[in-house]
Amino acid sequence: MKKKSLTLLQKVLLTLITGMLLIMFGDLLLRYFFDISLAIELLTLPFAAIGFLGLFMLFPQKNLFFGILLALVGGAVLIFYKVTKDGLSGTALISNSKYVIRVTPHNYWIVRHYPFAEKVIARKRTDAFFDPNSKMGFDRGYQIGLLKETSDSLYLEINSNTHRLDTVKKRGLWEKI
């Protein structure tokens, strides 16, 4: 029995789905080994929509259908991971700096954004943002200011329930925290 070759549209769709999975898997590896996360949130939904449309309209062959379905399920798992990786957190710009702070009740991360990625440059366990009366567990009315930055540290002024000065150690681009 002679196999029917794929049309150009099917080849393009397979390439898009494979590319999406490779980018998301690369993001997973970079995040695990170096605390670098690719900024691909907006790319995942169009790729998933293209994949599902192509799955039902362009692939009548049974083996190819199940292969694409398996790839899309893997992609859905990676999308779910991407959406839920940080848990419930608040994000705010740090005034007078190029950094962003991501806050949970008992931790905070200092993040630097690059054109297509973000790098966690410092992480600290602290209860500076904890608020037992809040549904999210942390004070949403905090303000952060950068007092001083050295090559290896950031000196922050944290205005939340308590006013405090804090210091965190910075990490290099390829260092894991």
Q: What is the pLDDT of residue 166?
A: 74
What are the DSSP calls for 137-154, one per residue? SB-TT-EEEEEEE-SSEE
- Mean pLDDT for the chain overall: 75
Q: pLDDT grade, residue 172 (50/70/90)?
A: low
Of 177, 97, 104, 107, nearest to 144 (Cα)?
A: 97
C-alpha 106/C-alpha 124 separation (Å) is: 9
Q: Taking the complete model, does pTM exceed 0.75, yes or no?
A: no
Q: What is the pLDDT of residue 124?
A: 87
What are the pLDDT digits (tens) for 36-94?
877 666 566 666 676 666 666 666 666 667 767 777 777 777 777 766 665 667 788 88
C-alpha 96/C-alpha 98 separation (Å) is: 7
- Assess contact for 75 and 48: CB atoms under 8 A: yes
Q: What is the largest CA-CA distance in the chain?
A: 76
| Residue ranges covered by each domain of the chain | 8-84, 90-169
Structure tokens at 42: 């907006």
What are the pLDDT digits (tens) for 15-45?
777 777 787 788 778 878 887 877 666 566 6
Of 33, 137, 20, nearest to 72 (Cα)?
A: 20
Of 93, 154, 88, 167, nearest to 128 (Cα)?
A: 167
Q: List Cα–Cα distances, 20 to 24, 68, 78, 133, in angstroms.
A: 6, 12, 10, 41
Q: Read off the pLDDT of each residue in 106-134 and give the average, rounded to a whole number.
A: 82
Q: How much of the chain, in percent, has pLDDT values that exceed 70?
A: 67
Q: What is the pLDDT of residue 50?
A: 67
Is the pLDDT reported for residue 1 higher than 60?
no
